[in-house]
Amino acid sequence: MKKMLIVTAPSGAGKTTIVRHLLKTFDDLSFSVSATTRPPREGEVDGKDYYFLTVRKFQNRIKKDAFAEWEEVYPGKFYGTLKSEIEKKWRKKKNVVFDIEVKGATNLKKLYGDRALAVFIKPPSLEELIRRLEKRDTENKKTLAERIARAKEELTYENNFDKVLINDNLALALEEAEGMVRDFFEIKKGTAKKRDNYYDEE
């Protein structure tokens, strides 16, 4: 059966760090690149980190039913998962891994049911989450306030997911995440991928 791993969390909880570790650890997993209308951050590459779309192009794809899920996360900033991205990974006989926001993860889990393991990454406290967001220094005061407000809401969603993983001690969180993957996909731990790029080569 074709399966997927959905990893979600409020911004700053550490989901991307955990996803990258899992992708380097298990050869059977392949990263699903999301689409977004937000501008690229420094070092991000179109088609590798995200598919960067204009709002108009994103909305056109919504009309064409091209998304498995999508969400307007912040005003004018859309995120979504293209159906074509999922099918592309499955054609390559890979299990798909998602690093996506909470509402999108909820929608994917509803759509794919038992084929999906949905994991909610939780910070040890809201105060620690805010500290991590401030330490990033990637936001202005307005966008930081937006992220904190959204994080407070997203923390109420944890009961919607199959597993909750508290990311307090990173080493322990990574070990626990590995165990979840082994159990769900019934795969053995592979060797770390030799290439630095953890995405599929196209």
Q: What distance in Å separates the CA atoms of residue 129 and residue 134, rounded to the nearest whole number?
A: 9
Q: What is the CATH number of the domain that holds 115?
A: 3.40.50.300
Asked if residue 158 is part of any domain, the answer here is: yes
The verdict on residue 71 lying in a domain is yes
Q: For residue 133, is it within any domain?
A: yes
Has residue 54 been placed in a domain?
yes
Domain annotation covers residue 201? no
Report the mean per-residue pLDDT for the chain: 87
Q: Where are the beta strands (DSSP E) in 20-88?
A: 29-31, 34-36, 50-52, 67-74, 77-82
Could you tell me the residue range of the domain that residue 51 belongs to? 4-185
Cβ contacts of 129 within 8 Å, gap of 6 or more:
10, 12, 13, 123, 151
Q: Sheet holding 163-166: strands in order across?
A: 29-31, 95-100, 4-8, 116-122, 163-166
In this predicted model, what pLDDT tens digit does every residue of 115-158 receive, in sequence order?
999 999 998 888 888 887 777 766 677 877 887 888 888 888 99
- Could you tell me the CA-to-CA distances from 165 to 9, 74, 82 in Å, in that order? 10, 25, 26
- Predicted confidence (pLDDT) per residue in 69-97, tens digit: 998 988 889 999 999 999 999 999 999 99
Q: What is the pLDDT of residue 152?
A: 86
User: How many domains are contained in the chain?
Assistant: 1
Torsions phi, psi for 55 (to 5 deg): -60, -40
92 part of a folded domain: yes
Q: Indicate the pTM of the whole model.
A: 0.82
